[in-house]
Structure 1
Amino acid sequence: MDMRRVAAVVVAVVVMAAVPAVASASSAPVWRSCATQREPSAECATVAVPIDRARPELGSAQLALARLPALDPGRRIGALLVNPGGPGGSGVGFAQFGGLASPDLALLRQRFDVVGFDPRGDWYSTPRITCDAATLFDPALDRFPSTRPGFDALVAHNRKAAADCLARTGPLLAHADTQSAAEDIETIRVALGEPKISWLGLSYGTELGAIYAAKHPGRVRAMVLDGAIDHARPMPQAILEEAAATEDALVRFAAWCRGSAGCALHGQDVLRFYDDVVARAARGGIWSSELGRPATADEVSAGVYGHLYLKDDWPALGKDLAAAGGEFPDARGLTERNQFRSPIYGAYRAIGCHDFPSPFTGPADMGFLAGLLRAAAPHSWRYSEYWDFASGCTGWPVPAKNPPRPQPVRGAPPILVVGGAHDPATPLAWARGLAASIEGAALLTRTDDGHTGLFNSACARAAEVAYLVSGVVPGRGAVCG
C-alpha cells in the first residue's frame, strides 16, 4: 500500500544498513551521522512515543529518523517529512538511499531539511512488527473460498498468523494503526522544534498525512498527497474500484506491449498470453527458480502487479512474463516482485488489518464480492491490494482501531492531492474523494500511467516541488499528461 524500482533499491540497501539507535524522549533528537554513498550528509536519531497514549504502562516505542539537512541553510524553509508508502515502507531508507535523488526534486533538498521516519512497527523503529513469513503466507491457501470449509480454513490460518505476530511483536501490534501513527508525527514535529511541517506522502503516506492534517490542521505548512487513498470509502466499494484500476493498467500494458518493438511479447495477444500463464500456474505448471517450486497463480498475478507501478518497468514486465510462459517456464522475474515474502509483509498485514479490516462474515458474502471482483477485473482478479487486505484480515483477531470512515480536514492551508487516471493501485476516484474531504484542497490529475506522480511524471514532480516551496497550489482543473 509503495515507486517500485526506487523502493526495491531502498529496501535492498536498508536491510544492510545500520541506523544508530539514539534514544530520545521529550528532548530534541540527538543526531549522529548515518552517511551513505548516495546521501553523505544523512543524520539519524530516534524519538520516543508511547505505545498506547491512554495506557502509559505499556511503555514506549522508538521511532527511527533520518535527516538530510537543507543544502542552502540560508534559505531553509523548514522540515519536510516524507512517507514513501506501504503500509510498512521505510522513510529512513527513502531519505538515506536516494528517494529524492531525481534532479527534478533538487530544490527540495536545497530548501528543506528532509526528514524520513519509520512509522511505529516498521523497519528500524522498535519494537518492530515481526511475523514468521511461512506462517503469514501459505501459498496453498485459497484466498477466494466459496465454501464453508474453505472460509473456515482461511479464518483459522489468519488467526494463527496473528497469534504468531503478536507473540513475536508484543503489545505494539494492537496499536499499529494509522491514527496512532498520525499522533506520532505530532511528537516528531515537537521534537524537531518546528512550529509547522511540510509533508510529502505517497500512497499509504496520503492516508497518514490526511489523518495528521485532520487532527492538527494548524501544524501543516504544506502537504502533498500523491497516489491518494480515500479512507472514507467502504471496503467493498474500495475493493472493486481498485481491482478495476489494476485491470485498466494491465490492459494498457498489454496494448503497449503488443504494439511496441521494445516488448518481448511484441505482436502477440498479451492478455491471452497472461491468462494462459496464470491458468498454467493454477495447475502447478509454472516453475520459479527464485522460489524453488512452482509459482501459484496468485504469486504470478501479484508479480505482474508489482511491475505496473512504474511505466519504465513495462519492458521488464514483457520480458519476465515471456519467460514465465516460455517453453521452459521460469517465473522468477515475477515472483521476485510480489510482496508475499517481502520483509515488510508482516507490517503491511498488521497495519492493514487495523485500517482496512475484512468486510466478510462468511462464504456467502465473500463469494458474492469475489464474483463482482472477477467481473471488474476479468484478467487481473487474482491479485489486488485491497483483496489481499480483505482476505488476509478475515478472522484477524486484533481489533481494528482505524476502520474506514470520513475524517474531513478543516482549517489547514491548501493541500495538493495528486491522482492518476491509470494508476494501478489508487484509482482517480479516490483522489477526487480525498480532495473533496479537504477544505480548500487542489486536485492535480495525471493522465499517464503508473503509481504516483513523483515516480512517473516530470510534470507532477515539477508541480509538487513548486507547491511545496511556494505553498501555492496549481489552478483548478490542473492536468499532467
Structure 2
Amino acid sequence: MDMRRIAAVVVAVVVMVAVPAVASASVLTWRPCATQQEPTAECATVEVPIDRARPELGSAQLALARLPALDPAQRIGSLLVNPGGPGGSGVGFVQFGGLGSPDLGALRQRFDVVGFDPRGDWFSEPRITCDAATLFDPALNRFPSTRTGFDALVAHNRKAGEDCLARTGPLLANADTQSAAEDIETIRAALGESRISWLGLSYGTELGAVYASKHPDRVRTMVLDGAVDHARPLRQAILEEAAATEDALVRFADWCRSSAGCALHGQDVLRFYDDVVARAARGTIWSGDLGRPATADEVSAGVYNHLYIRDEWPALGKALAAAGGEFPDARGLTERNQFLTPIYGAYRAIGCHDFPSPFTGPADMGFMAGLLRAAAPHSWRYSEYWDLTSGCTGWPVRPKNPPQPHPVHGAPPILVVGGAHDPATPLAWARGLAASIDGSALLVRADDGHTGMFNSACARAAEVRYLVSGVVPGRGAVCR
C-alpha cells in the first residue's frame, strides 16, 4: 500500500485559491513545474477546510500536478491518480514519470492526468510532521505478550502520537480517508469537471471507493487496482494479509532456488531467509545503510518491499545473499524500508484513523501474534497490517474512519483488480470490495507482485481500455 519507491520531488511555487462548492470551469491557477521526465507538467494548489464541521480550525492547501492531454481535440476529461500509501505523493507520481510506460500512452493522449497529495502528505500544507526517532524505535518489541511489554508499546505509541500532534496541529486529528474523499470533490469542482475518472492503486482503492460511495454521480470511470476492502474486520484482515505475504515469499523462494538468475540458486532459500532473520534478531547482521546492526523486523520488512515488483526478484536474491554472507550487510534490504522515511509519519497517522488497534491487552495481542506466526511461519516479522495496528496501539488520536462498509450505489461500472499472489492486498479483498459496488467488474491477476499497474501488461491494457471507453472486461476476466 505505498509510494515508498517514489523519490522526493521539488514543486514550483504555486498560487492558492479558494474553491466554490460547484464550478463550471476550472478556477485553478496552473504554473509550469516541468521535470526531465514530464516537461509539460503544471502545478497548482486548492484550499480545503481542515474540519468541515469546525471552520475555525482553518484550512489546508492541497498540492496538484497536471499533465495536459496530448490530444486536446480527443480529450475525455480529467483522470485523477492516487498511487497508494497512505502517505504517497500523487504529485511526485505524475511529475516523475509514474505514467510514463508506453502502454499507458492512451491515457496521456486522452486525459488531463492530475495527481494530488492528500491532506497532510508531501507537498500539501500543513504536512504531517513527526520526529523520526520518536516514531520508530528499532529496539521496541512489536509482538508483546507480557503486561510490561504491552505497556511499553502503548507508552511508546502514545508519546509518538503526541509528538506528531504537537508538530502537525489539528490536521492530524482530521487526516482520515473520509475527509480526504471530500477533498476529492473539492478538487473535481475546482477542475470544472462534472465527472472525473480515477486510477487508484493500493490505498488509492480505499480512497476511491469512499469517494464513489459519497459521490457516485460524479464518477465517470474508476479503476481500483490492488484492492483494499475497508469493511473487513481487522483481526481477519491482519491474518489474511500475513498469509498473502507468506505466499509471496514462498513463491519467490521457489523461483530463486530453481532459477539461475537468482544469487541463491540451488539453495534452500526459506532456510537461508530464516537464518538471516534469526541472526538479525541476535544483532549480528550489519546494515551499511543504517550504520548499525539491522533488526529482524527491518530485514523482514526489506524483503517484503522487494516482493512488490516481480521484476525485482533478482535484486532481492542479491540483497538477501549479501545479508547472509560471510561479511553480512543488509543494506540492500534496509534501504528499502519506510521506517525512517519522510512518509512514515503520514503512513502511521492516516493508518491509525483507518485501521486502529483492535488489541485489548497483552493476552489478546499475544494470542493474535500466535495466529500471525501460524499464518506466516517465515514472514511473520513484518506485514503491513501488523505494523499499522501494533503501531496504533496506544495512539492518542481518536480514529475517524475505522473499518466499515462503503457500499457504492448509482455509479457507472467500476473496475476492481486483484492479484492471486499479491503480497500486500489479498485477492479476497478485491472480491469483497467488488461485491460492495453495484455493477462492478473484477479482473483477477494470476501473476505475482502488488498491483497490476506495476506488474502486468495484461492488466495495464485492460485498465487503459476501460478508462478510455468506460466498458469493463467481461465476467470472469483473468490475466495469466
Q: Does 1:112 align with 2:105?
A: no
Q: Following TM superposition, by how much is the alpha carbon of 1:24 offset from its aligned partner in structure 2, in angstroms? A: 1.4
Name 1:262's counterpart in structure 2: 261
- TM normalised by structure 1 equals 0.98
Q: Distance in 1 between matches of 2:331 and 2:282?
A: 17
- Which residue of 1 is the match for residue 338 of structure 2? 339
CA distance in 2, matches of 1:438, 1:80: 20
1:274 matched residue in structure 2: 273
Aligned position for 2:11 = 18
Query: Match for residue 250 of structure 2?
Result: 251
Counterpart of 1:195, as a letter, is S
Q: Secondary structure of the equivalent of 1:199?
A: strand
Contact 2:37 2:97 in 1 (8 A): yes
SS of the residue aligned with 1:380?
coil
Distance 2:34 2:214 in 1: 34
What is the distance in 1 between the residues matched to 2:336 and 2:251?
Answer: 19
Q: State the alpha-carbon separation in 2 of the partners of residues 302 and 64 from structure 1.
A: 30
The equivalent residue for 1:230 is 229
The offset of 1:330, in angstroms, is 0.1
Q: Please name the residue that 2:355 is paired with.
A: 356
What displacement does 1:186 show? 0.0
Give 5+ residue unaligned stretches, structure 1. Answer: none
Shift of 1:318: 0.2
SS in 2 for 1:424: coil
Q: Work out the CA distance in 2 between the residues paired with 1:18 and 1:356.
A: 31
Aligned residue number for residue 24 of structure 2: none
Structure 2 CA distance, aligned partners of 1:208 and 1:198? Answer: 13
Q: Structure 2: how far apart are the matches of 1:222 and 1:19?
A: 30
Aligned amino acid, residue 25 of structure 1: A
| Aligned residue in 2 for 1:55 | 54
Moved over 6 A (4+): none
1:384-403 mapped onto 2 (5 Å cutoff): 384-403=383-402
Counterparts of 1:23-102 in structure 2, within 5 Å, are 23-26=16-19, 28-102=27-101
2:206 matched residue in structure 1: 207
SS in 1 for 2:263: coil
The answer (yes or no) to whether the contact 1:298–1:383 under 8 Å persists in 2 is: yes
Instruction: Describe the SS at the equivalent of 1:455.
Output: helix
| Structure 2 segments unaligned to the other structure (5+ residues) | 21-26
> Does the CA contact (< 8 Å) of 1:90 and 1:123 recur in 2?
yes
Within a 5 Å distance, the mapping from 1:373-388 to structure 2 comes to 373-388=372-387
Q: Do the aligned residues in 1 keep the contact of 2:69 with 2:108 (CA within 8 Å)?
A: yes
1:427-478 deviations in whole A, cap 9, x for unaligned?
A: 0000000000000000000000000000100000000000000000000000
**Identical residues among aligned pairs (%):** 85
Match of 1:299 in 2: 298
Q: Secondary structure at the match of 2:318?
A: helix
Instruction: Give the C-alpha shift of residue 20 in structure 1.
Output: 2.0
Q: For each residue in 1:164-221, what CA deviation from the matched residue of structure 2 results, as whole angstroms up to 9, or x when unmatched?
A: 0001100000000000000000000000000000000000000000000000000000
Say whether the 8 Å CA contact 2:14–2:30 is kept in structure 1: no
CA distance in structure 1 between the partners assigned to 2:449 and 2:13 by the alignment: 35
- Offset at residue 293 of structure 1 (A): 0.3
Look up the match of 1:162: 161
Equivalent in the alignment of 1:414:
413
Contact 1:19 1:124 in 2 (8 A): no
Contact 1:19 1:64 (8 Å CA) reproduced = no
Q: Which residue of 1 aligns with 2:241?
A: 242
CA deviations on 1:350-378 (whole Å, 9 max, x unpaired) are 00000000000100110011000000000
Distance 2:230 2:91 in 1: 25
Q: Post-superposition shift, 1:19? A: 3.5
Q: How many residues align?
A: 474
Query: 2:424 maps to which residue?
Result: 425
Indicate if the aligned counterparts of 2:11 and 2:43 stay in contact, CA closer than 8 A.
no
SS of structure 1 residue aligned to 2:396: coil
CA-to-partner distance for each residue in 1:141-186, whole Å, 9 max, x for gaps? 0000000000000000000000100011000000000000000000
User: Secondary structure of the residue that 2:44 maps to in structure 1?
Assistant: strand
- Cα distance per residue 1:276-317 (max 9 Å; x no partner): 000000000100011000000000000000000000000000
Counterparts of 1:19 and 1:388, CA distance in 2: 34
SS at match of 2:453: coil
Q: Distance in 1 between matches of 2:100 and 2:14?
A: 25
Question: In the aligned structure 1, how far is the partner of 2:139 from the partner of 2:17?
Answer: 45
Tell me by how many angstroms 1:57 deviates.
0.4
Matched-pair contact (CA < 8 Å) for 2:14–2:31: no
Instruction: Give the CA RMSD over aligned residues.
Output: 0.7
CA contact (8 A) 1:235 1:356 kept: yes
